[in-house]
Chain A
Amino acid sequence: MSILAVDGLGIAFGGIRALDAVSFAVPRGMIFSIIGPNGAGKTTLFNVISGIYRTTDGTLAVDGLDVTGLRPATLASLGLSRTFQNLQLFTRMTVLENAMTGRHRHESRAILGHLVRSPATRAQERRSRELAMACLARVGLDGEAGRLAGALPYGAMKRLEIARALATEPRLLLLDEPAAGCNAAETEEIDRLLVDIAASGITIVLIEHDMKLVMGISHRVLVLVEGRVLTEGEPHEVARDPRVIEAYLGRDAAHRLVEAPSYA
């Protein structure tokens, strides 16, 4: 069974259909990438899947369970987590506290215990700190634990978002352009990190413009253009599809590329 099934999903903003009849399924354990030109609706798709936007147009299922219309916090409790293209860090909190906040769904919410800092609360804090540190170590930020998140360089902020999402112990992780704005070395790090995350059994849905990254690590690639699925397939199939090249570069360029044998 697929861990994520999207069926006939659509959403409109003031008459503009940002998503239209989008359907696909992500099998467990994969790196499933979504590519498409700017404004294609990729981030909107993540917003619908993670419950930030609600739509009655189409259905969503996580692990076979219908989750259409559920709130983000409920989806989080089902093991879904994500990062944001426009960073959404808790900038006034430390790097460690950001990651610890990711532990929230596993922590006791008994406020009385928090107020008096009961032995159980202390033990839980210790555990949350350890697990959060482990997530920071995974993205190479354990040395910055005490720093304010808002004071980090851009690349580190991107990795902190991933660490915070990992701290929730997700089954399904949605990553919105984790390598955007990163230099070659940083992109290389992200590449390794994603492969490592997938190897640990977490299914990844990746939005990314860096084609080298996408084609290198994805098991399947879906192409979204103007809110619709253009095609879906293995990376090498998609890369060779003239419609994809056309969508990215325009019709003329596409013809030239496909006709020139050196690019085949």
Chain B
Amino acid sequence: MALKLSPAVLILIATVLIVVLPGLVLPSPYYYRVGALVFISALAVIGLNLLMGYAGQVSLGHAGFFAIGAYGTAILPAQLGWPPLLAAATGVVLAAALAFAIGRPILRLRGQHLAVATLGIGMLITMVLNAEVAITGGPDGMAVARATVFGFKLRAPETWYWISGGLLILGVVAALNLLNSPTGRALRALHDSEVAAEVLGIDVTRYKLVVFVAASVYAAVAGAALALFSGHVTPDVGSFLRSVEFVTMAVIGGLGSILGSIVGAAVLVILPQVLTVFQEYETLVLGVMIILFMIFLRGGIVPGLAARLTARLTP
């Protein structure tokens, strides 16, 4: 019998290769920095994809939870003298607790209504970050204490490349495990038919809350990593634009595709860097490319390419 790898294992192998291969050959700290940003964004987008792509619940406030992770990591050491890593973990717990508290009333909404409600949450969070100048530094943001592990300060881009790459791999493993479990099937089921899911004994309300909290944890872990990596946070990390960017990454890469989340994040982080050669036309070219992606690879880059490939392979 031939060795047959499950799709989940193939996705995991691809992720490990995406992290490890560039990591061995990148020429300068600048590239490691971009790589780390790709992985951090991808982690947040995987969370959003679980919520939007798999469970079908829209969020336009994902960056709000990203910001809670980032600011928890920044504020607790500055105000209370906590070690940065403990602060990061606490930020993640806070994001999860907030998602749990507001998830129940909000997830009763559907479609555009849910989109607008989550947008409101994101706006509230950035509003607080902007207004509480004494604690958050207001619009200028605040410095983040560097994390130390065994007396070793984590600051080199290369170090953060490997840390965020490792977090991404962990995030992919957890997402794949979840998706191929009773919980994952419940999430995908309620996306296609809530009524059929209920009739099979699936507590739809509970699972919507579960995936909302899970998405917020992914976002907050990514936000905490960004804060520790960049050493400075501003309310921009939680802005509406950032939420839209996460949605765009998820959609361009492919809703309902874990690899798509990584590819979508890579495209939107790397392209603007490459397109600086177009100078003032940079944004224009980026916009046109996004439109072309959506037209020619409907369903996103990864599912779109996969569909074309299978169409070519099967006569």
Name A's B-contacting residues (CB within 8 A): 50-52, 71-73, 75-77, 81-82, 84, 88-93, 97, 100-105, 107-109, 111, 114-117, 121, 124-125, 128, 164, 168
Interface centre among A91, A115, A164 (most CB of B within 10 A): A115
Given contacts A88-B193, A115-B177, A117-B177, contact A168 B188 (CB under 8 A): no
Say whether A114 contacts B200, CB under 8 Å: no
| A82 neighbours in B (Cβ, 8 Å) | 199
Q: Do A81 and B184 touch across chains, with their CB atoms under 8 A apart?
A: no
Q: Known contacts A88-B193, A92-B192: does B200 contact A102 (CB below 8 Å)?
A: yes
> By the criterion CB–CB under 8 Å, are B185 and A101 in contact?
yes
Taking the complex as formed, is B132 at the interface, i.e. its CB lies under 8 A from any CB of chain A?
no
Asked if B202 CB lies within 8 Å of chain A CBs, one says: yes
Q: Contact: B201 with A73, CB < 8 Å? A: yes
**Main SS class of interface, B:** helix
A89 and B192 form a contact (CB under 8 A): yes
Is there contact, CB below 8 Å, between A114 and B198? Answer: no
Structural contact, A114 and B189, CB atoms closer than 8 A: no
Q: Known pairs A92-B192, A108-B182, A121-B181. 12 more at Cβ < 8 A? A: A52-B195, A72-B198, A73-B204, A88-B195, A89-B196, A90-B188, A90-B189, A92-B191, A104-B185, A104-B202, A111-B178, A114-B178
Q: Does B256 contact A (CB under 8 A)?
A: yes
Is A73 within 8 A of B203, CB to CB? yes
Instruction: Tell me, in angstroms, the Cα distance from A77 to B198 when the chains sit together.
Output: 11
The answer to whether A71 and B198 touch (CB under 8 A), given A88-B193, A90-B192, A93-B192, is yes
A88 touches B196 (CB 8 A): yes
Q: Which residues of A sit under 8 angstroms from B174, Cβ to Cβ? A: 115-116
A124 to B181, CA, bound (A): 9
Asked if A52 and B200 make an inter-chain contact with CB atoms under 8 angstroms apart, the answer reads no
Q: Are A105 and B195 in contact (CB under 8 A)?
A: no
Which A residues touch B191, using CB under 8 A? Answer: 90, 92
Chain B contacts for A117, CB-based, 8 A: 177, 180-181
